[in-house]
């Protein structure tokens, strides 16, 4: 009995602990927190950081080519059977002695140290590896910029969906009340039954739209979690509302000047031009000689009486290209053409970005004006709908008039939402190209 009582007491004590362990993690994120969380946890950004680490290792790999290299070898040999020998007379005694021409077991060990003294390809290759490192860093910066923009879009897209859900839910409640009142009035003979049917049709349409938005919100949250790099089981709570997001984005001033050197795409293309230039230089260095030096030490653990192994050897090697049937010239010309093409690509991008900035400024101005108009239209249509509702209850307008007024109001809300989405997206694209996100 005591044992059973102990087990029961233990289980009761563990219930709160087990309950806590089964609770989902909850993340409450402001927009800034969401961007920072994504930068720290998004797997694509993690891969970009790993690319930078790999590029650093590549720089050292290339650097090490021009540093001293030391290698060692061991060579063991065994001679089966009888080892040949030759007879030799000792001049001092006149006696003949047998001298073997080898040993049965022998190990030869060699240590070789080499040093590259001059190589044009090495010098250019080292510069190229450092440029590739810079490209990896720029790629990481570009992915962070894209990630920030995507988090922004996803964050306020969810808020817009939730705002739409709130509007439709409110409309459904109001319409349910009207349907109930209309049915009562129709039963008393004050209204036609078709009025209630017409309102019910509209109510069913709104209910279906509500279900659609709820599913969209659920999917959007899952996609947002993937973007953030969080666990799919995590509960997300967005702590900022649409008004705060709107104010934080719209109130940020935009630099009226466009500095190409701040644009991430231009800097990446500029580094590609640098790579093409280094490739051109590398091909030209193939006309230059390559100079290296070495030191070699060799010895054996067991030597024959007559052994001609030279222990120390110091030398140098010079490789001079003489004639390649114009193969080298062909590769140089190809690299030169590639370099010229990369310069043209940079110029094309420069012109394209300049025009794109102007277009994005126009898009933002147009979107801002459109949002202001749709906001005013929404307020007016809401007033019209409220006034029509009062007149409907007083029997002054039909249910068709009320339905049309409600649809006009909902369409105005939709237009306003779309305009807000367009406005925020145009501002994000403008800030992204200016690298001010």
Q: Which tens digits make up the pLDDT trace of 393-411? A: 787 888 788 888 988 999 9
Long-range contacts for 325-334 (Cβ within 8 Å, ≥24 apart)? 328/283, 328/286, 328/287, 331/283, 331/286, 332/280, 332/283, 332/284, 332/286, 334/283
Mean pLDDT in residue range 183-189: 67
Tokens of 266: 């231009």
> What's the CA gap between 406 and 106, in Å, rounded?
102
Question: What average pLDDT does the structure give for the chain?
Answer: 86
43 sits in which H/E element: helix 43-65
390 sits in which H/E element: helix 327-393
Contact at 8 Å (CB) between 312 and 297?
A: yes
Contact at 8 Å (CB) between 107 and 309?
A: no
Considering only CA atoms, which of 351, 364, 333, 335 is closest in space to residue 432? 364
Tally the C-alpha atoms within 13 A of residue 158's C-alpha that lie toward its C-beta. Answer: 23
Tokens of 69: 């290299």
Total count of residues recorded for the chain: 437
Considering only CA atoms, which of 391, 385, 396 is closest in space to residue 171? 385
The pairing of strands 290-300 and 105-118 is antiparallel
> What pLDDT shows up at residue 14?
46
Burial profile 279-289: b = 16 or more Cβ within 10 angstroms, e = fewer:
bbbbbbbbeee
Phi, psi of 322 (to 5 degrees): -110, -60
pLDDT band at 419 (very low <50, low <70, confident <90, very high): very high
> What pLDDT shows up at residue 17?
43
Q: What is the pLDDT of residues 4-31, one digit of tens each?
A: 544 454 444 444 444 433 456 888 999 9
Q: What is the pLDDT of residues 294-303, one digit of tens each?
A: 999 998 888 7
pLDDT band at 176 (very low <50, low <70, confident <90, very high): confident
The SS3 of residue 73 is strand
The SS3 of residue 387 is helix
> What's the CA gap between 74 and 123, in Å, rounded?
33
Mean pLDDT in residue range 79-108: 74
Tokens of 271: 């580094």
Contact at 8 Å (CB) between 294 and 113?
A: yes
pLDDT at 251 over 60: yes
Ranked by mean pLDDT, which of 37-41, 60-64, 195-199 comes out on top? 37-41
> What's the CA gap between 349 and 431, in Å, rounded?
18
> What's the CA gap between 351 and 349, in Å, rounded?
5
Sole residue written with tokens 């450092």:
130
CA distances from 103 to 125, 142, 303 (A): 48, 68, 7
Tokens of 308: 């001609």
> What's the CA gap between 423 and 252, in Å, rounded?
13
CA distances from 218 to 65, 112, 215, 225, 237 (A): 55, 67, 5, 11, 13
Beta strand residue intervals within 50-183, DSSP E = 69-78, 85-89, 96-100, 105-118
Contact at 8 Å (CB) between 316 and 293?
A: yes
Contact at 8 Å (CB) between 107 and 75?
A: yes
């Amino acid at each position: 009995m005591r044992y059973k009582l102990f087990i029961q007491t233990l289980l009761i004590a563990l219930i709160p602990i087990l309950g806590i362990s089964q609770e989902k993690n909850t993340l409450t994120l402001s927009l800034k927190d969401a961007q920072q969380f994504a930068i720290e946890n998004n797997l694509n950004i993690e891969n970009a950081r790993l690319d930078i680490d790999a590029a650093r290792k590549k720089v050292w790999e290339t650097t090490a080519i021009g540093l001293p290299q030391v290698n060692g070898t061991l060579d063991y040999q065994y001679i089966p059977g009888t080892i040949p020998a030759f007879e030799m007379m000792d001049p001092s005694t006149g006696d003949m002695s047998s001298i073997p021409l080898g040993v049965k077991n022998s190990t030869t060990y060699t240590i070789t140290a080499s040093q590259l003294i001059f190589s044009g390809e090495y010098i250019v290759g080292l510069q190229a590896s450092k440029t590739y490192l810079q490209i990896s860093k720029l790629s990481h910066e570009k992915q962070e910029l894209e990630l920030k923009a995507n988090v922004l879009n996803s964050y306020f897209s969810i808020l817009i969906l939730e705002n739409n859900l709130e509007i439709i839910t409110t409309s459904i409640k109001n319409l349910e009340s009207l349907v109930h009142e209309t049915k009562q009035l129709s039963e008393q003979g004050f209204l036609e039954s078709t009025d209630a049917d017409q309102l019910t049709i509209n109510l069913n349409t709104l209910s279906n739209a509500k279900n659609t938005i709820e599913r969209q919100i659920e999917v959007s949250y899952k996609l947002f979690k993937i973007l953030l790099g969080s666990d799919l089981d995590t509960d997300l709570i967005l702590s900022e509302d649409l008004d705060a997001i709107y104010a934080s984005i719209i109130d940020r001033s935009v630099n009226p000047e466009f500095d190409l050197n701040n644009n991430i795409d231009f800097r990446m293309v500029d580094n590609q031009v640098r790579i093409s230039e280094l490739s051109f230089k590398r091909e030209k260095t193939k006309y230059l000689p390559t100079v290296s030096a070495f030191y070699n030490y060799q010895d054996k653990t067991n030597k024959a009486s007559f052994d001609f192994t030279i222990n120390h050897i110091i030398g140098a090697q010079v490789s001079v290209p003489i004639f390649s049937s114009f193969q080298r010239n062909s590769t140089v010309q190809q690299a030169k053409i590639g370099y010229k093409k990369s310069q043209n690509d940079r110029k094309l991008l420069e012109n394209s970005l300049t025009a794109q900035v102007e277009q994005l400024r126009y898009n933002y101005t147009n979107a801002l004006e459109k949002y202001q108009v749709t906001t005013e239209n929404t307020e007016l249509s809401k007033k019209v709908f409220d006034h029509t509702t009062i007149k409907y209850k007083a029997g002054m307008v039909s249910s068709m008039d009320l339905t049309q007024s409600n649809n006009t109001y909902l369409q105005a809300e939709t237009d306003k939402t779309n305009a807000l989405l367009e406005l925020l997206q145009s501002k994000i694209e403008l800030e992204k190209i200016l690298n001010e996100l």
